[in-house]
Amino acid sequence: MHFLYPAFLFALASLAIPVIVHLYNFRRYQKVQFSNVQFLKQLQEQPASRRNIKECLILVARLLALLFLVLAFAKPYISKQDGAAAGQQRNVSIFVDNSYSMQTLNSEGNLLDQAKQKAKEIAAQYGINDRFQLLTYNFEGRHQRLLSRDEFFDAVDEVKISGQNRSLNQVISRQRQLLKSNSPGNGDIYIVSDFQRSSSVDSKVLADKNISINLILLKANNLPNVAIDSVWLLSAVHKPGDEEKLVVKLHNYADQEAAGIPLKLFVNKQQKALASFTIAPRATLTDTLSFSGLKAGWQQGELQLQDNPITFDNSFYLAFNVSPQMPVLVIDNGTENTFIKAAFGADKFFKADRAPEGNVDYTGINKYGLVILTDVKNISAGLARELGTYVKKGNTLAVFPAADADVESYKALLQPSGAAWPQRLITNEVKASKLNLQNPLFKEVFDAMPQNPDLPSVKKYYGLSGAGQGESIMALPGGETFWSGYKSGSGMVYIAAVPLNDDFSNLQRHGLFVPLLYRIALLSGHNLPLFNTLGSGESVETIPLRSTEKEVLKLSSDGYEIIPDVRQQDGSTRLYVADQLQQPGLYNLKKGDSAAAVLAFNDNRRESDLSYLTPAELQKLLRLAGGRVIGANKPVASAINEANYDTQLWKLCIILALIFLAAEIALIRFYKTGGNIAASQVTSTQTTQ
């Protein structure tokens, strides 16, 4: 048996008081006056032994009543654990779920308020010397220390809703880490949550014999909800005034159909599109919104759903840049290709820069979405390596071999990218026989396709190796590749079987050449992501920028500002924001005092699925760890007492104290020793006389 408050045992010294009273009070003699000594013979003298028995019983009853009263204040209990740790300080880690789903209501009110109250009830069941850690999804540094009970109560009151979301194993791992660093011997973990199915399950929780795990399950309602999962634009390059097509993916997380859900698109705070959707139960729907009229510059977009009663995921933010011009880099042998110059010179949107093969600025190559390699006889190893990296990062390379190409150098460039390469020169006058109209390059090129189109004619060409792995643009008779595209990493490589030379073909003079070249340019480039996800832990890619001591890169929105960690990787700029950003929205990226870009951040959509784990499923997760699940209907206090103190005896002590007090009263009142009878007889005799 152990005591929760052993200091109260010092009060056992008070047991001496009844003993002293007994020794003093029951040994006093009482004088009785009689008129005649002969009347003493009529007294029925009480035997000394019977009187002593009564006195001893009263003393024992008093001592036992006082003993059990003192024990009740010391709170005795019988523990299943070893008694070595009894009475020592115990460290307790309490996690309060503050995710968006905790904003929902049940019959008892707001889930977050209930979680706070549960956390306080847990702390109240521990001793005044025990210490507590408060943890939320934010994983804040100030929550990585132990608090007194009063400090813990104040910290709980400050907990607010957050967009952060982590798995159950991440939370338990963080709690174990703190408990082991402060108290290697023992500790208790409590997690107060609604335990959403989408965000709680990742793997089973492993056991730790020194730390107990307790899951406090809140009663949540399964509410209907529709959210925007993702968006993307069909065009990689955005021209001022052009029509844009935004693809929206909607998800119905409810078990019933969502009918007539309105969706609005705002760009730069102006409504650009309006639509209404009906989505089947537990299904996704993808649709396209068209809009136009954009000017050059960064565009700040917001999609708004009208979906009640769940509103925390009704907004979705996106940002993209409409460029006044598209830069294209042409790498040649030192002599400018007149056909490429004429093609890009016809449209002011394209800005074609050229560089000789031996004078390419590798550090600035990533600012071009499209690089065209033409008329280069021998590709150096350094250029081949840089172009390979350039393509894998999501950019586009178009290759037109030289008339006297060194095929081995082309192989060194194209083979690592998974593209075909020129092998041998074939002299054979043929005509392109087929267009692959399913290729994205031909989209919006033809108003109507004639049955027998006039295709480019060929005098001689390079046979391409590995040509069957790509997506054909034009083919020669016999299925040989004339012009084809190949996916490489996140980018594309386009290879033609002929140089842009009249001695090989009339491709450069054909009516298809310019529109196809434009389409390659417009579909090229490594487009920056439309949005980023908060709490993902991944870096944020942005336009190439360099931070200096005088011009620091900052993210700001509505008076809130942070300075992210900036790193340069493979010619691109990446920002590391960690957990500095907590709220979704549109943020201006500033270099010094000037705006350089706009970045959009959205919450993780795992919180949108408002379905929950059952107690049985949670208990299955804890099977290896030996933890407990405390349901919504079970009082937290009784569950903790059962776990920490096993069998509590203080109530029994109070009952026994009352029983012995009642026994003392009964002995005094009803235990007759015969003295009263004798006295009454003496009195009656005196009256007769």
Domain containing residue 256: CATH number:
2.60.40.10
The answer to whether residues 182 and 34 belong to one domain is no
* Prior bond of 18 cis (ω within 30°): no
| Domain co-membership, 371 together with 457 | yes
Residue 536: which of 604, 607, 585, 606 has the closest Cα? 604
**Domain end position, chosen among 496, 522, 548:** 522
pLDDT on residue 644: 61
Together in a domain, 387 and 345: yes
DSSP letter string, 331-377: EESSS--HHHHHHHHT-TTEEEEEEETT---GGGGGG-SEEEEES-S
Question: What values do phi and psi take at 168, rounded to 5?
Answer: -60, -40
Domain shared by 132 and 214, yes or no: yes
The pLDDT score that the predictor gives to residue 468 is 54
Are the C-beta atoms of residues 621 and 168 closer than 8 Å to each other? yes
Give the CATH number of the domain where residue 465 resides. 3.40.50.880
- 138 and 246 both lie in a single domain: no
Does 527 reside within a domain? no
Of the residues 492, 522, 552, the one at which a domain ends: 522
- Looking at the structure, tell me whether residues 127 and 50 fall in a common domain: no
What CATH number is associated with residue 137? 3.40.50.410
pLDDT of residue 35: 64
Domain annotation covers residue 536: yes
The amino acid that residue 524 corresponds to is S
Place of tokens 């406090």: 216
475: part of which helix (H) or strand (E)? strand 471-475
Total of domains in the chain: 5
Neighbouring-strand partners of residue 491: 488
Of 460, 490, 522, the one marking the end of a domain is 522
212 lies in the same domain as 349: no
Are 307 and 348 found together in one domain? no
Structure tokens at 253: 């997380």
- For residue 169, the model assigns a pLDDT of 84
Residue bearing tokens 């934010």:
138
Helix H or strand E encompassing 39: none
pLDDT value at residue 49: 61
Residues of the chain with pLDDT under 50: 44, 82-86, 675-689
Picking from 189, 105, 173, the residue whose alpha carbon sits closest to that of residue 139 is 173
Q: Are residues 411 and 486 in the same domain?
A: yes
Residues 589, 563 share a domain: yes
- Angle in degrees, 0-180, between the axes of helices 338-345 and 513-522, rounded to the nearest 10: 70
> How far apart (Å, rounded) are the C-alpha atoms in residues 346 and 429?
31
Q: What is the pLDDT of residues 597-640, one digit of tens each?
A: 999 999 988 889 888 888 888 888 777 666 788 887 777 777 77
| Residue 591's CATH number | 2.60.40
74 and 110 in a single domain? The answer is no
State the residue range of the domain holding 73: 2-80+649-688
pLDDT at 163: 83
Shared domain for 343 and 450, answered yes or no, is yes
The angle subtended at Cα 84 by Cα 82 and Cα 85, nearest 5°, is 95
Tell me the residue ranges of DSSP E strands in 497-579. 532-533, 540-542, 553-557, 560-562, 565-569, 572-576
Q: What angle do CA 425, 428, 431 make, to 5 degrees?
A: 115
Q: Give the residue among 132, 138, 136 at the shortest CA–CA distance from 150.
A: 132
| Reported pTM | 0.73
In a domain, 239, yes or no: yes
Q: How far apart are CA 500 and CA 404, in angstroms?
A: 12
